[in-house]
Amino acid sequence: MNKHAYLILAHNQFDILKKLVVALDSKHNDIYIHVDKKAKDFDEHEFSMLTKFSKVVFIKRKSLNWGNYNLVETELRLMKSALNQKYSYYHLLSGQDLPIKNSDYIYHVFEKEKKDFMSWGEDLTAWDRRFKAYRFFMGTKNKRIKKFAKFLVKVQLKLGVNRVKKSKITYLKGDQWFSITDSLCKYIISKEKFIKKWFKHTECPDETVMQSIAYISPFKENMTNNSLRYIDWSAGGSHPKTLSNEDKIKLEKSDKLFARKFDEKESKELVEWILNKIK
């Protein structure tokens, strides 16, 4: 029987994470989790006791920063950990996600489609601030260092620095989250050195690397521009809306398989409804 690996990045909202693990517990699934090292009072053993069918694996914890390449490194570590066993699919989720369909339904959708699912929008190859210049000190909270990093970008652009011409990559931007086949997962891991070379000094590489590498891979034609995640960006800004009970009808009508993001307090009633619905 083919099995699926769920790769989860978590840093807080551990009550939601518990519900996610329980919702994914199935003979079809195993679960791999990374918890940000900065998170305190996290009981790994407690999570290992939540499942009846799924194996739960925790990878070594590291401190992660928004917009930093260490997010990509951790995604790759999760993928490599799961590749020690053969799975037909690898799904990247955050610790604030939930499935909105039951496990059997989700499993059979992917086993039938055999496509690589991720989202991407416009071609950002020419966007200088993200790709042409090298971005240093990503993730720092020091205002002086941030200011200096912006100065370095301006200097590079004036000097004509252009990584895009050298990389020969079509840079695509989309959701960080994906569901990919074993073949594409292995291909991406085989390109780890290439990924580090061309994405390490990039702003928010986690939103571009998987799409961009898949696009230049032999599996380009197998890509489907749909992550199958329900994400509401109507609130504006760089973060999606926190879903609440007012989103129930939209989720019920949605053909997506997963949704984000949920909050322990704001989403409490909605989360209970979802869990009852997918039992």
Domain ranges of the chain: 4-113+228-278, 120-174+191-221
Q: Residue 34 pairs with which residues in a beta bridge? A: 9
What does pTM read for this prediction?
A: 0.92
CA distances from 197 to 5, 211, 246 (A): 27, 16, 44
- Distance, CA of 141 to CA of 67 (rounded, Å): 11
Residue 262: its H or E element: none
Contact 28, 3 (CB under 8 A): yes
pLDDT in tens, the chain (279 residues): 699 999 999 998 899 999 999 999 999 999 999 999 999 888 888 888 899 999 999 999 998 887 788 999 999 999 999 999 989 999 999 999 999 999 999 999 999 999 999 998 766 555 545 678 888 887 777 889 989 988 998 898 888 888 877 777 888 888 899 999 999 999 999 999 999 998 888 888 898 899 999 999 999 999 999 999 999 988 776 788 999 999 999 999 999 999 999 999 999 999 999 999 998
Strands of the sheet containing 116-118, edge to edge, are: 56-58, 29-35, 4-10, 89-94, 179-181, 116-118, 223-225
- Distance, CA of 258 to CA of 240 (rounded, Å): 14
